Amino acid sequence: MSVEITNPWTGQVDYRYNYLAGAEVEAVLARSAAAFPAWSGLLLEQRADHLRRVAVALREHRDRIAGIMSAEMGKLTREALAEIEKSAGACEYYASHAIDYLRDHAIATEASCSYVTYEPLGCVFAVMPWNFPIWQVFRFLAPGLMAGNVALLKHATNVPRCADAIAEMLDLAGIPAGVFGVLHIDNAMAAKVIADPRVHAVTLTGSEKAGRSVAATAGANLKKCVMELGGSDPFVVLDDADLDKALPIALSSRFGNAGQTCIAAKRFIVTEGIANEFVRRFVEATAKLQVGDPNDPATNLAPMVRPDLRDELHGQVQKSIAAGAKPLIGCVPGDGASHYPASILDNVKPGMPAYSEELFGPVASIIRVKDEAEAVHVANDTLFGLGASVWTKDKARGEHVARQIKAGATFVNSLVRSDVRLPFGGTKSSGFGRELAEHGIHEFMNIKTVYVD
């Protein structure tokens, strides 16, 4: 099957490729299985050297890779460059810390010797999204390779050259053939790959719908999996919040990457004592954001990735307005291929899409609440549980509220973000399992007990 890739800014088709045939997929699987024994048999220091060379390659080719990212999914050049640097940093982090994370862990028992050791599982198959086409891959790839696993990638259909660029960087770093493979395949073939006995685990970042499908296939084949799914993160503004600090973060958290981020702030839950001032200043700042060419340094809002996703977002906005939400700014599609302006809906209430659904684009929902207790209730009144932030001048109060919010991560007076030093993942319909930090490298390992009497 032939696939056309349309540039989100220009609306023009600028790349075509074909899905792999069955025999080609078989060849990739065979190379992966053949590569595992030698790769897992290397010393950790040897794998670390390879990862450090990957970081070097990413930095040397960052401008070219950033151009591919902008052309395929519309990312601003400066955001693309930051993503590449973050990915290089992840390689260096695991190269430096994996030895400690994978060290045998002695446990005192009545045995003469008992300990936990960590062994790689084999091949990890990753189904990855388009919104962070380099970083999302390295979130699983850097720890996975350092653990001694090999990896296969099914990237999102619209970012094939990003996938190929990652493979090229690993090749430049001297990582042996078969240790990492790219599979340009459709969902039906992906299900067959998951079922293949040469695949030992599955990781997915994507929508709740995709997660349910992939997790069901993995479970039916008894494959360990990690699911990082959608989010509708609350941005809780308490009555004593420092708005000078909160507002710039509100702007970047909601509208960075054109709002197409799982951990973006989406529901702005604002207590009544500060709501009017917050909303007034938020609208003023949002009005300064303009969709433009991702390669233009002056552009501060990227286009959305595809027209159909823009139209889906606008449908959610229209339904919310029809139910009583008040459009304060934007909320009307732009003229270009995938353009949507920075938008804010006020008076958002339960039952509206803007309250209960994930708005995966540059639209902020303002939910006004009476007090802290109601803010916590609304923050938790969602199927999702990925990230959250709490804004208050009282750090102890912020920590108290943070502990009450059901999410994989809650940040007090700070931008919600993934950090290679901290575990990342969600709860409820935002998925299960963890990436990054020590927890992430252990997800796809056999945590093995050794007991010597």
Residue that has been written with the tokens 């340094």 in this structure: 297
Listed in sequence order, the residues at least 6 apart from 27 whose beta carbon sits closer than 8 Å to its beta carbon are none
How far apart are alpha carbons 73 and 225 in whole angstroms? 27
Q: How far is CA 149 from the centre of its chain?
A: 21
- Give the CA distances from residue 90 to residues 54, 55, 193, 418, in Å, rounded to whole numbers and listed in that order: 10, 8, 27, 11
From the list 425, 445, 427, the residue with the least C-alpha distance to 204 is: 425
Active-site pick, 79, 208, 228, 358 = 228
For residues 358 and 257, the answer to whether their CB atoms sit within 8 Å is no
Catalytic annotation present for 162:
no
Q: How do 224-228 and 201-205 pair as beta strands?
A: parallel
From the list 433, 424, 427, the residue with the least C-alpha distance to 90 is: 424
From the list 44, 105, 119, the residue with the least C-alpha distance to 446 is: 119
From the list 343, 360, 341, 262, the residue with the least C-alpha distance to 302 is: 341
Catalytic annotation present for 262:
yes
The 3-state DSSP composition of the chain as helix, strand, coil percent (nearest 5) reads: 45, 20, 35
Terminal alpha carbon distance of the chain: 59
Active-site pick, 123, 225, 262, 331 = 262
Residues taking part in catalysis: 228, 262
